[in-house]
Chain A
Amino acid sequence: MMSNIKNYNDGKGNTSTKVSLEERRGFLRLGLKVTGVFVGGSVLTLTPAQKAKGELLGASVVGTYPYQPHHAMIIYNDRCIDCELCIEACTQTNNVPSYGSRNAILSRRKTGIAASKMIREFLPVLCNQCNRPPCVRVCPTKATYKDKKNGIIMMNESLCIGCKACMTACPYNARYYNRELQAVDKCDFCYRRRLQNGETTTACAEACPAGVLFFGDLADQKSELYTLLHVAEQTILVLRPESGSMPNVFYLQG
């Protein structure tokens, strides 16, 4: 089994990164805390979780990553202060019109340490660049597709017919119809505006003053993102795991 994982190839010419035995053991311990674990292109469902946090639980992390680079993001949502600089940076970088948005910050009241005090909780959300993207499956013209090289869900605006099936299928409300482009628009991890021009991070991650957003390459074992994510006994959370979309945006605490 180990050798299968080490030599895993996704069939698209992308060879996966090797995972050491030690890490693997760590991940298996970690695996008891997550569901929908993505290992070598297959899905293992490891349940029940030790400390299930229903709405966020179910990461698709740990193991091999089929894209080179395998772009992903970590969000420390408890650090978010709702300054909305990430939204502003995204809007300016990607020419997002006023009626739309590629990212958002959700908020809600929750009970604080003292039971009588209510505090605000914030949740930055954006396209989760899913490994099993429902939006791609439903698109009738291949206007939206998962990039074979870097795994980002991209849009070919010229093919979009505006049926909005991707908008109904997206579990994260991450898409809107851009009237100027006459196509659905969404976050592409700033690929067109920044990454393909040699920049290494997204506009939102760069603009965040609170260290909430970390962007990087999961296939690079030396990257900060990889290190932050691959910590044993850490609970890794994803949004709406019940949709089975296997996101590449992970939520951590601390």
Chain B
Amino acid sequence: MTTNIEDLEEGRLASSSVKWTTHLLSLFVIAGLTAGSYATMTGHEIAYGTSREVPWGILTSSFAFFAITSTGLCLLAAISHAYGVTQLRPLGSRAVYLAIVTTVTAFMLLAFSVESPWMLIYFNAASPSLTSNIWWLSTLYGIMSGCLFLRFAFLVSGSQGLALSFGIIAAVTAVGANNNLGGLFTLASDPPIWFGIQLLVLFLASAVLSGTAAIIIFTVLAFTLRQQKIAGEPHKALETAATLMALMIGIVLVVTIARFYSIFFSDTPDPGRAAAQALINGPLAVNFWGFEIFTGLIMPLALLLITKTKSVWAMTLASCMAMVGAYVQRFDLVFSGQIIPKFSGWNDLPQYFHYFPSGAELIVVLGAFGLVGFGFLLGERFVGRLFRLY
């Protein structure tokens, strides 16, 4: 294996179209950083669409989306390299790299989700609170990203043993971080819609689902950029990833049904039922049925089953739909917990609170997607050959 990073450069991607796309995406990132910095300086309740009643908006849900995806990618890389699922190996190095990119993106969103991001870094170390899921998730994602950086560095330098060791540590911390991200919602007795152990299972299955969907999309994109046909081992790897994705879709579907079943047929307090009602036939019904269930779960599963996970384009389409569904699912999860007033029925409060992302929030989210695209293209261009070595 190579020890010189210059040898990893993918000369074929030094085309003007790739360069211009990279520049365009970097502009998205700059716009996102500018909008986020503006919000930090002026205050979130001025720059964002959030309020006292709905303090968490699309930035929190987008943070969850990218953090969960990074967990999935990290686990996928660990499965392929460390746990002997050799069919997935051709996707492993790219999964490691993309896990780093999505974690950095998640941290960018976390920074713009809190009012004083610089204090998050300082007080996370100076005044830790071990009962807090936010403390654990930011610490564990920090450790995970550090391990992933080291793992990637050892992959580049050819130290496979060390790369494997750090990969395993990264995977373990990724599961812990993901559980704490889930715990941020599931351990809170109020709002009741978030409470319940099913949500933790959903978070883990959803992580692997997002991870497999992301690796399929970006692998197909990488081959398309190189104008290469996917065949042989990479094709088999994608088939395995698609099979894993179908399995995870099935688990997510079952857990989603169990979650709503337990809300409606157990002793869930009224605000929990009202929030679930908002998803089933309230203001979030289109999101829930249209995006989360139909686009995000049923259609991809049907596509994968019909094509028996053999068709690359079918699995790419299924992955894209699953990612759209996953993004909307994170938003619905965050907002559904805040949509019902805490004192429903009093003070002529509305049945549901309203939230719509502000321009600044949407630009930050655009910047986050830009950062993932920018990071992906940079990786393919400058260390692209690494992704062929496994």
Contacts and interface: CB of A to CB of B under 8 A. Distances in A.
Q: Which of B56, B131, B343 has the most CB of A within 10 A?
A: B343
A53 interface: no
A158 to B, nearest CB: 9
Interface residues of B, number: 42
Nearest to B40: A162
A159 B56 CA distance: 20
B269 A242 contact: yes
Given A108-B347, A168-B337, A177-B44, A242 B115 contact: no
Contact of B346 (A108, A138, A170, A244): A108
B327 to A, nearest CB: 20
A167 B343 contact: no
A167 B55 contact: yes
B129 A139 contact: yes
Interface string A230-254: 0000000001101111000000000
Interface in B10-47: 43-45
Contacts of A159: 119, 123, 127
B190 interface: yes
A161 B129 contact: no
B52 A177 contact: yes
B44 A165 contact: no
Interface stretch (B69-77, B78-86, B133-141, B280-288): B133-141
A171 B342 contact: yes
Contacts of B191: 168
Nearest to A138: B132
Q: What is the interface of chain B mostly: helix, strand, loop, or mixed? A: loop
A243 B190 contact: yes
B40 to A, nearest CB: 9
A168 to B, nearest CB: 6
Contacts of A139: 129, 132
A167 B188 CA distance: 12
A137 B373 CA distance: 37
Contacts of A164: 55-56, 114-115
Contacts of A179: 43, 45
Q: Which of A123, A125, A164, A179 has the most CB of B within 10 A?
A: A164
B348 interface: yes
A173 B342 contact: yes
Contacts of B119: 141, 159-161
Interface residues of A, number: 42
A100 B52 CA distance: 9
A100 B115 CA distance: 16
Contacts of B132: 137-141, 165
A107 B188 CA distance: 27
Contacts of B347: 104, 106-108
Interface string A127-167: 00000001011111111000000000000000111111101
Interface in A167-186: 167-173, 175-177, 179, 182
B346 A167 contact: no
Nearest to A174: B342
Contacts of A104: 347
Interface in B225-267: none
B263 to A, nearest CB: 14
B121 to A, nearest CB: 9
Contacts of A171: 189-190, 342
Nearest to A108: B346
Nearest to A169: B188
Q: Which of B184, B192, B347 has the most CB of A within 10 A?
A: B347
A110 to B, nearest CB: 10
B346 A177 contact: no
Given A168-B56, A171-B342, A161 B190 contact: no
Interface string B129-173: 101111100100000000000000000000000000000000000
B133 A123 contact: no
A210 B320 CA distance: 62
Q: Which of A107, A175, A177 has the most CB of B within 10 A?
A: A177
Contacts of B120: 140-141, 161, 163
B90 to A, nearest CB: 39
A162 B43 CA distance: 10
A106 B123 CA distance: 36
Nearest to A109: B348
Contact of B345 (A108, A134, A167): A108
Nearest to B119: A161
A199 to B, nearest CB: 29
B274 to A, nearest CB: 13
A168 B269 CA distance: 17
B189 A162 contact: no
B61 interface: no
A243 B346 CA distance: 18
Q: Which of A99, A136, A243 has the most CB of B within 10 A?
A: A243
A162 B44 CA distance: 10
Given A142-B129, A176-B52, A240 B114 contact: no
B346 A106 contact: yes
Given A140-B132, A142-B127, 6 more contacts: A140-B128, A168-B191, A168-B337, A243-B189, A244-B189, A245-B190
The 8 A-B pairs at the shortest CB distance, nearest first, are namely A162-B115, A106-B346, A164-B55, A140-B135, A140-B134, A141-B123, A242-B269, A140-B132
Interface of B: 43-45, 52-53, 55-56, 113-117, 119-120, 123-124, 127-129, 131-135, 138, 184, 187-192, 269, 337-338, 341-343, 345-348
24 contacts: A106-B343, A106-B346, A108-B346, A108-B348, A134-B188, A138-B134, A138-B188, A140-B132, A141-B123, A141-B127, A142-B129, A159-B119, A161-B120, A161-B123, A162-B115, A163-B113, A164-B114, A168-B56, A169-B188, A173-B342, A177-B55, A179-B43, A242-B189, A242-B192
